Amino acid sequence: MQIEVFQVNQGKYDVVIIGAGIVGSMVARELSRYKLSIAVLEREEDVGMGQSSANSAIIHSGHDPEPGSLKAKLNVRGNELWYRIAPELDIPIQKSGALIVAIGPEEQTGLPELYERGKQNGVPDMRILSREEVLEMEPNLNPDVSGALYTPSAGVVDPFQGVLGAAESAAINGVTFFVNAEVRGMIAQDGRITAVETTQGTIEASWFINAAGVHSDEIMHMAGSRPEFEITARRGEYFVFDESAFKVNNILFPMPTKKGKGILVTTTTHGNTMIGPNSDYVADKEDHSVTREGMNEILTGAARLVPALSPRDVIATFAGLRATGNHKPAGSHRDFLIEVSDTVEGLVNLAGIESPGYAAAPAIAEYVVGLMADAGLNLDEKKDWESRRERIPRFKELSHQERARLVSRDPAFGRIVCRCEDITEGEIVAAIHAPIPAENYDAIKRRTWLGTGRCQGSFDYPRTMEILARELGISMTEVTKKGPGSVMLYRQTKEEVV
């Protein structure tokens, strides 16, 4: 099914969701079960460009949050839901299990308390393991390990594919996505929000769900809700290792501290091992920089778990920004803030959704829809709701027979465009025409993994641009790297320059 590219125009929706991260996209999917007209407004050029794709990508078991908190309840429920939803949405997920590792005799004394906390939160099948058991599971661990809490329900997910899967499922079920549509203002009438002003125009609705991540406080304040609440960005930096470096069988956490869950070691669904994050408050909510100090801190922290890791195998770095809530002047707001506003009618706030927000997202969606139903939203189920969604074909992962079948159906799958990663023209065309269309080079890269190999795109660039131009019916000089303002060619080679 193909969805057109939309321009926001006058029109009234039942529900408008602000922000297409994992939370907004999961809420959109959950609401799409019902006979409602729904739009999602995203300020970036694609879904999942905020913290939802710059994180550790752990489906936490739920052993860590404060018992009784929304974080605890929604994390454990979200963990259960992810293993059901990911196969429905063709999202890569691995239930690898996690070890919270104690180093030395002193840390070992903290394991029973962690276990008890997990038990109170309802985490299934946990065990405290001896030093020998842990080393058998993870031979590369620090030999000073004294034991670990094992939580087999923890797992890893492909974070961008998770958002894309949820968003495409919502789109297949009738939700309209507007990208490059930043909410800049709200229009209220008699204490009720009736419309939002975006960079593409005004859009009216009966309900507005604020799922704007680090910017969710700004949306609240535009609506006149919770002036005392603010979000501070808390940056976490990461190192990614070459696939051939080393892998871990479980997600490895250190013992938690007041600062959080600590610097972990995990192998991603793509097979690269990753270490991080640290935790630094930053003034600028767009500050994704990686720093020398941060990198040293991460290496030291991770080497405490796996001493043999070498920075020489690092191939990439990145940083994500946690949306940490704070009440002025009282201090930190440690839990998720999820509410139907009692001061501004028609507004739903989903704020302070920091970790374990990714793991909790499907449960947050369930919970929010329940709150909205209690507040009067009419939920009339669709008979034809489609629970399943398929990713575009992945030529590289197919057997010879499957490849042959695909090529005989569509010869474009027989033309390799990215030689390092074996990505075909057929995959690029499918991404361009998917329910959430990829309309620039980076969007195709995120969906297919093209250009991520040794040559870093130098072979596939011109071919991919040609395909984008052809499929979108635009000229090569209009093809962009990442949306408006990023054209890849300024003029034809032999064009006269005046």
Contacting residue, 24, 62, 92, 325, with ligand FAD by CB under 6 A = 24
Q: Is 162 in the site for ligand FAD (CB under 6 A)?
A: no
Q: Is 58 in the site for ligand FAD (CB under 6 A)?
A: yes
Q: Is 20 in the site for ligand FAD (CB under 6 A)?
A: yes
Which region among 15-23, 62-70, 440-448, 459-467 touches ligand FAD (by CB under 6 A)? 15-23
Strands 314-327 and 229-241: antiparallel
- The nearest distance, CB 157 to ligand FAD, in angstroms, is 9
3-class DSSP assignment, residue 23: helix
- Rounded to the nearest 5 degrees, what angle is found at the Cα of 478, between the Cα atoms of 472 and 483? 85
Which region among 121-129, 186-194, 205-213, 424-432 touches ligand FAD (by CB under 6 A)? 205-213
Return the residues of window 420-479 that contact ligand FAD according to CB under 6 A: none
Report the residue number, 52 or 161, with the smaller CB distance to ligand FAD. 52
Q: How far apart are CA 449 and CA 468, in angstroms?
A: 16
Would you say 443 and 434 are in contact if contact means Cβ atoms under 8 Å apart? Answer: no
Q: Is 18 in the site for ligand FAD (CB under 6 A)?
A: yes
Return the residues of window 207-226 that contact ligand FAD according to CB under 6 A: 211-213, 215
**60 noted as active-site residue:** yes
Return the residues of window 172-191 that contact ligand FAD according to CB under 6 A: 182-183
- The nearest distance, CB 388 to ligand FAD, in angstroms, is 23
- Encoding tokens for residue 116? 């008890």
Q: Is 43 in the site for ligand FAD (CB under 6 A)?
A: yes
Q: Is 52 in the site for ligand FAD (CB under 6 A)?
A: yes
Report the residue number, 240 or 430, with the smaller CB distance to ligand FAD. 240
- The nearest distance, CB 41 to ligand FAD, in angstroms, is 5
The end-to-end CA distance of the chain, in Å, is 44
Q: Is 277 in the site for ligand FAD (CB under 6 A)?
A: yes
Backbone angles phi, psi at 365, to 5 degrees: -60, -45
Among 327, 25, 42, CA closest to 173? 25
Among 347, 388, 394, CA closest to 368? 347
Report the residue number, 254 or 277, with the smaller CB distance to ligand FAD. 277
Helices (H) and strands (E) in the chain, counts: 13, 23
Q: Is 50 in the site for ligand FAD (CB under 6 A)?
A: yes
Residue 407, CB half-sphere, CA atoms under 13 Å: how many? 13
Q: How far apart are CA 454 and CA 423, in angstroms?
A: 14
What ranges make up the beta strands (E) of 96-246? 98-103, 127-130, 145-151, 155-157, 176-178, 183-189, 192-198, 201-210, 229-241
Among 274, 389, 373, CA closest to 25? 389
Would you say 398 and 423 are in contact if contact means Cβ atoms under 8 Å apart? Answer: no
> How is the chain split among helix, strand and coil, in percent rounded to 5?
35, 25, 40
- The nearest distance, CB 193 to ligand FAD, in angstroms, is 14
Q: How far apart are CA 5 and CA 351, in angstroms?
A: 29
Q: Looking up tokens 């996690």, which residue turns up? A: 98
Q: Is 118 in the site for ligand FAD (CB under 6 A)?
A: no
Strands 176-178 and 155-157: unpaired
Q: How far apart are CA 3 and CA 105, in angstroms?
A: 58
Would you say 58 and 156 are in contact if contact means Cβ atoms under 8 Å apart? Answer: yes
Q: Is 55 in the site for ligand FAD (CB under 6 A)?
A: yes
Which region among 93-101, 292-300, 317-325, 459-467 touches ligand FAD (by CB under 6 A)? 317-325
Q: Is 23 in the site for ligand FAD (CB under 6 A)?
A: yes
In the stretch 320-359, what mask flags binding to ligand FAD with x, by CB under 6 A? xxx------------------------------xxxxxxx
- The nearest distance, CB 286 to ligand FAD, in angstroms, is 10
Q: In residues, how long is the chain?
A: 498
**Which one of the listed residues 60, 221, 270, 333 is annotated catalytic?**
60
Contacting residue, 22, 149, 263, 432, with ligand FAD by CB under 6 A = 22
Report the residue number, 149 or 353, with the smaller CB distance to ligand FAD. 353
Other beta carbons less than 10 A from residue 488's beta carbon? 18
Report the residue number, 74 or 468, with the smaller CB distance to ligand FAD. 74
- The nearest distance, CB 15 to ligand FAD, in angstroms, is 15
Contacting residue, 8, 17, 36, 51, with ligand FAD by CB under 6 A = 51
Q: Is 138 in the site for ligand FAD (CB under 6 A)?
A: no
- The nearest distance, CB 288 to ligand FAD, in angstroms, is 10
- The nearest distance, CB 98 to ligand FAD, in angstroms, is 10
User: Which residues of this chain interact with ligand FAD, rule CB under 6 A?
Assistant: 18-24, 41-44, 49-52, 55-58, 60, 182-183, 211-213, 215, 236, 277, 320-322, 353-359
Give catalytic residues, as residue numbers.
60
